[in-house]
Amino acid sequence: MDWQCELDGLEDRPYKPGEECGVFGAYDFDGGDVSPSIYYGLLALQHRGQESCGIAVSDTAGPKGKVLCTKDMGLLNEVFTPDILEKLKGDIGVGHVRYSTAGSSTRENAQPLVLNYVKGTLGLAHNGNLINAPKLRRELEYTGAIFQTTIDSEVIAYHIARQRLNTGSVEEAVAKAMGKIKGAYSLIIMSPRKLIGARDPLGFRPLCIGKRDNTYFLASETCALDTIGAEFVRDVSPGEIVTISPEKGIVSDTSMCIPAKEHARCVFEYIYFARPDTCIDGMSVYHSRILAGKFLAMDSPVEADLVVGVPESGNCAALGYSLESGIPYGQAFVKNSYVGRTFIKPGQKSRESSVRVKLNVLREAVAGRRIIMIDDSIVRGTTSDRIVHMLREAGAKEVHMRVSSPPFLWPCYFGTDVPAREQLIAYHRSAEDICQLIGADSLGYLRVERLDEIVEGRPICRGCFTGKYPLAPPMEDIRGEFES
Ligand code: SF4
């Protein structure tokens, strides 16, 4: 197929791997309402998911099992009006922003999940993707379970509820459920009197603890704690279960933890997903991106007049490239921040393009100059092609593209929407081929060996770049499995 036709057909598809989800929980030991803090915490995590969102709260002094929950499709500020938030009264709560990697994007699949069972009520928010969810779900269905959603998070909720029937506490039930589920998960669970956080033993997705006065928080990213004025207490360790209650404060269960060298944090959190003002397991995301840019400058140098980043995630790496190379850093694009993920995409025949709606080039900055343009990744190549052409149209003399991740060669099974191999531009293509296809003067990727260095030696997952996964992937692509 002609490449340009291929690009045209793909233009309206997401050009970046989808962020997975964001989770946020709060427990005010003084009995104050937590829904405003959850709302603002989630707002800081909106970049992790823009399809649906929800907040569930409960009053620990009120009737046991009464949970108030609002969830719907859309952004936080579309779903939650001041009136709706005002009605969500409770001193313990959990919230979620969603991007679907398993289960379709529908209202029924929005989180948090609220489960009423014989021992009470559970609220659950999940970030990640299980690799054995279809099998577990079938097992549960054969024993009479009826599922309300098509998401793997409900499998987790069911397992916790079942285990709770034979254990003395919710946290023990969570530990038992963790023995069954496999894959990526950062969980926040609200029981009638406890807030529980759990991270899978490999630590794919981040989770941290914060505190403000007598209120404790659990959050996907530290930037959410900053937003609500909470201090960072610590990260939840991979495999750890933390139980937060007024009686005991923070209690840690490390029985599911594995040796640190076996951890497998998603390296793409550092490269693209997380906000640069977040720290994950002691590593600043900003610093990680600066390092990636510096390594690109060392490994793929080129003479040029200006280094620019594709906003937002290419900006830090561009600054790193500039610092290392001495080539001035500048701005070449103006981003329209008001274009949501679900904006009305121009039709194929229309003169507008999705990329142009989102980005415009600063002609004055690039005309007559040799530009190094840094982006965090190339998935299908659609956007890179468009942006390179936009820079040329604006008068750039040369356009050299540098990418702050290695080429995507494999899909992800752990909660990132990296598509099937056939849709990845780097599948069966050399960097030279790709460079030609996107119309750049040169192209350089971050070397795979540099991934360890950008996270300063923390054990990571790099499966989508190498095909070597920390957990054996399922035999087939399980995304959307439950709809079949
Ligand atoms: S396969 Fe890639 S995107 Fe998925 S968890 Fe591993 S590093 Fe992250």
151 touches 51 (CB < 8 A): no
Which of 53-57, 96-100, 413-417, 479-483 holds the top average pLDDT? Answer: 53-57
30 is in an annotated binding site: no
Q: Is 3.60.20.10 the CATH number for 21-263?
A: yes
Any atom of ligand 1 within 6 Å of the Cβ of 181: no
Task: Give the distance between the most distant pair of CA atoms in the chain.
Answer: 72
375 is in an annotated binding site: yes
5 is in an annotated binding site: no
Any atom of ligand 1 within 6 Å of the Cβ of 414: yes
Nearest partner of 374 among 289, 276, 286, 461, judged by Cα? 289
- Tokens 């949970």 belong to 67
Nearest partner of 375 among 301, 302, 322, 310, judged by Cα? 310
Is the pLDDT reported for residue 478 higher than 80? no
Interacting residues of 401 by C-beta distance below 8 A, sequence separation 6+: 372, 373, 374, 375, 384, 388, 435, 438, 440, 442, 443, 444
Is the pLDDT reported for residue 338 higher than 70? yes
Residue 435 annotated in active site: no
- How do beta strands 329-330 and 306-309 pair? parallel
Architecture of domain 286-466: 3-Layer(aba) Sandwich (3.40)
pLDDT of 8: 34
- 264 C-alpha vs ligand 1 centroid, how far in Å? 9
Residue span(s) of the chain under CATH 3.40.50.2020 come to: 286-466
pLDDT of 3: 36
Report how far residue 243's alpha carbon sits from residue 218's, in angstroms, rounded to the nearest whole number.
11
pLDDT of 149: 86
Residue nearest to atom 2 of ligand 1 (CA): 464
Categorize the per-residue pLDDT at 7 as very low, low, confident or very high, splitting at 50, 70 and 90: very low
- Chain centroid to Cα 112, Å, comes to 16
Coarse DSSP helix, strand, coil percentages of the chain, rounded to the nearest 5 percent? 30, 25, 45
Residue span(s) of the chain under CATH 3.60.20.10 come to: 21-263
Any atom of ligand 1 within 6 Å of the Cβ of 463: yes
- 248 C-alpha vs ligand 1 centroid, how far in Å? 36
Return the structure tokens found at 425.
Answer: 């531009």
pLDDT of 225: 98
Question: What is the tally of helices (H) and strands (E) in the chain?
Answer: 17, 24
Categorize the per-residue pLDDT at 415 as very low, low, confident or very high, splitting at 50, 70 and 90: confident
Any atom of ligand 1 within 6 Å of the Cβ of 462: yes
Of 44-48, 221-225, 435-439, 479-483, the one with minimum mean pLDDT is 479-483
- 97 C-alpha vs ligand 1 centroid, how far in Å? 20
Interacting residues of 367 by C-beta distance below 8 A, sequence separation 6+: 394, 395, 396
Categorize the per-residue pLDDT at 352 as very low, low, confident or very high, splitting at 50, 70 and 90: low
Atom of ligand 1 nearest to the CA of 268: 8
Q: Kindly tell me the sign of the dihedral angle through the C-alpha atoms of 126, 46, 340, 319.
A: negative
Return the structure tokens found at 117.
Answer: 């069972």
Q: What percent of the chain is predicted at pLDDT more than 90? A: 76
pLDDT of 144: 85
Is the pLDDT reported for residue 339 higher than 80? no
Atom of ligand 1 nearest to the CA of 204: 5
* Backbone φ, ψ for residue 124 (5° rounding): -135, 135
Strand segments (E) across 147-258: 183-190, 195-199, 208-212, 215-219, 231-235, 241-245, 249-253
Can you state the angle between helices 133-142 and 152-164, rounded to 10 degrees? 50
41 touches 222 (CB < 8 A): no
- Tokens 């916790």 belong to 160
pLDDT of 6: 35
pLDDT of 355: 82
Categorize the per-residue pLDDT at 336 as very low, low, confident or very high, splitting at 50, 70 and 90: confident
H-assigned helices in 149-238: 152-164, 170-178, 222-227
User: Up-side HSE of residue 452: CA atoms within 13 Å toward CB?
Assistant: 5
pLDDT, one tens digit per residue, over 8-42 is 333 333 445 554 799 999 999 999 999 999 999 99
Q: What is the dihedral of CA 350, 355, 359, 361, to 10 degrees?
A: -80
431 touches 233 (CB < 8 A): no
Is the pLDDT reported for residue 103 higher than 80? no
Own/partner pairs, 64-72, CB within 8 angstroms, 24+ separation: 64/120, 64/121, 64/192, 65/116, 65/120, 65/121, 65/192, 66/121, 67/114, 67/121, 67/123, 67/190, 69/112, 69/114, 69/123, 71/96, 71/107, 71/110, 71/111, 71/112, 72/107, 72/110
pLDDT of 483: 43
- 465 C-alpha vs ligand 1 centroid, how far in Å? 8
- 200 C-alpha vs ligand 1 centroid, how far in Å? 14
Atom of ligand 1 nearest to the CA of 184: 5
Q: What is the mean pLDDT of the chain?
A: 90
Report how far residue 151's alpha carbon sits from residue 480's, in angstroms, rounded to the nearest whole number.
8
Report how far residue 218's alpha carbon sits from residue 23's, in angstroms, rounded to the nearest whole number.
8
- Tokens 């959050």 belong to 219
pLDDT of 64: 78
Amino acid letter for position 469: Y
pLDDT of 343: 59
Of 2-11, 110-119, 125-134, 307-316, the one with minimum mean pLDDT is 2-11
Residue nearest to atom 8 of ligand 1 (CA): 266
pLDDT, one tens digit per residue, over 181-230 is 999 999 999 999 999 999 999 999 999 999 999 999 999 999 999 999 99
Any atom of ligand 1 within 6 Å of the Cβ of 271: no
3-class secondary structure, 355: helix
374 touches 404 (CB < 8 A): yes
**Which one of the listed residues 21, 69, 257, 316 is annotated catalytic?**
21
